[in-house]
A and B are shown apart, each in its own frame.
Chain A
Amino acid sequence: MVDTTYKKFVRRWEEVMDLPPQTLGPFTKPYKKLTRRLKVMPWPWLVLVSIFIVVGLYVLVGSAITFLVTLLQRGF
C-alpha cells in the first residue's frame, strides 16, 4: 500500500518536474499569480476580464458596438 502510494507520488513528481519552472525576471511573480488562477476553473476570471473589456469598449464607442456585433454575427 505504502509502496503503491510512493510509486504514484514519484510518478506524479516526475510528471510535474518534467518541465522546468518558468522564470520571467521581474515578471515572474505576476506571471505565477496569473497562471495560478487559470490552471483550475479559469471561467470566473475569464468572464470577469471580458466584462471589463466589453464595458470599457461600450464606454469608449457607445452604441456603435452593435455594429461590431452585426459584423461578427455575419462572420461564421
Chain B
Amino acid sequence: MDSTGSLLVSGVWFLRNTIGVIIKPYATYRRIVDHGRLGELFYIGILLAGYFALASLVKEASFRPFLLTRQFVALSTTAAVSFFLASTTIWMVGTLVGGTGSWQRITLAWGYTMMPTVMWFLVTSLLYVLLPPPRTTGMLGVAFSIVYLIFSVTLFFWKIVLSYLTLRFGLRLDAKKIAVAAAIMVPLFVVYSIAMYRLGVFRVPFL
C-alpha cells in the first residue's frame, strides 16, 4: 500500500476509534493499542491545528496575519512539544514501575486522550466569543456556571478514564501500579502546568 492509501486507511481507523472512545472506551482502547496505526496521529494533529487556528483568532481578536501566525505557531509548537514530553514521561514512568509496552503504542493511546482536551478548549473558546466573561452572580450567571462546570467536570472524568486506559492497555499495568505511576506523574504535570501559565501560553494546561 502506498503512503496515500495508508493515510486514508488511518483516517478510517481514526473516525472509527473516535466514535469508539465516546461509546465504548474500554474495547476501543484495547483495539487502539493492539491494532492502531501511527498515521492516526496525523488526523489528531489536524484536529488540534484546527482548534489552534480558531483559538488564535479568538485570542488576538484582530485580523493581523503576523500576529495570528505568531499565536498559531506558539500554540501549536507548545502543544506538540508538550504532547511528546507527556507521552515520553508516561512511557518512562510506566516502564519504571514495571510496565511493558512500546513508546509508539503509548503515544497513539495518549493521542486519543486529546479528544476531551480539544473538545473542552474548543467549546470554551466558542463560549468566550458568544458569552464573554465575567459571569454575573445573578440567576442566569449562576445557571450558566453550573451547566458549564458540569460539562467541564464530565470531560475531565472522561480524560481520566482515557488516561487510565492508556496506562492499563499501553503498558499493561494493574490498578496499583497505575496509582504509583500517577503519584509520580501528577506532580510533574503540575510543574509543567505552572510553567505554561508563567509563560502565558496556556492558563489551563493543554494536556
Contact = CB atoms under 8 A, between A and B. Distances in A.
Contact of A65 (B124, B136, B142, B175): B142
A11 to B, nearest CB: 11
Q: Say whether chain B's binding surface is mostly helix, strand, loop, or mixed.
A: helix
Interface in B132-157: 132-137, 141-142, 144-146, 148-154, 157
Contact of A40 (B26, B30, B142, B172): B26
Contacts of A49: 153, 157
A40 B4 CA distance: 33
Given A68-B145, A74-B203, A50 B153 contact: yes
A72 to B, nearest CB: 6
Given A24-B175, A66-B136, A72-B124, A58 B169 contact: no
A15 B34 contact: yes
B198 interface: no
B13 interface: no
Chain A interface size, as a band, is 35 or more
Interface of A: 15, 19-20, 22-24, 31, 35, 38-43, 46-47, 49-51, 53-55, 57-58, 63, 65-70, 72-76
Contact of A76 (B22, B128, B153): B128
Contact of B145 (A31, A35, A47, A65): A65
Contact of A50 (B124, B127, B128, B157): B157
Nearest to A36: B26
A67 B148 CA distance: 12
B25 A38 contact: yes
B146 A54 contact: yes
Given A40-B26, A65-B149, A66-B145, A31 B175 contact: yes
B175 A22 contact: yes
Contacts of A22: 174-175
Interface in B5-37: 22-27, 30, 34
28 contacts: A15-B34, A19-B168, A19-B169, A24-B176, A38-B26, A39-B26, A39-B27, A42-B25, A43-B22, A46-B157, A47-B154, A50-B150, A50-B151, A54-B150, A58-B146, A63-B141, A65-B145, A66-B145, A69-B135, A69-B145, A69-B149, A70-B133, A72-B152, A73-B135, A76-B55, A76-B58, A76-B203, A76-B204
B146 A75 contact: no
Contacts of A72: 124, 148, 152, 204
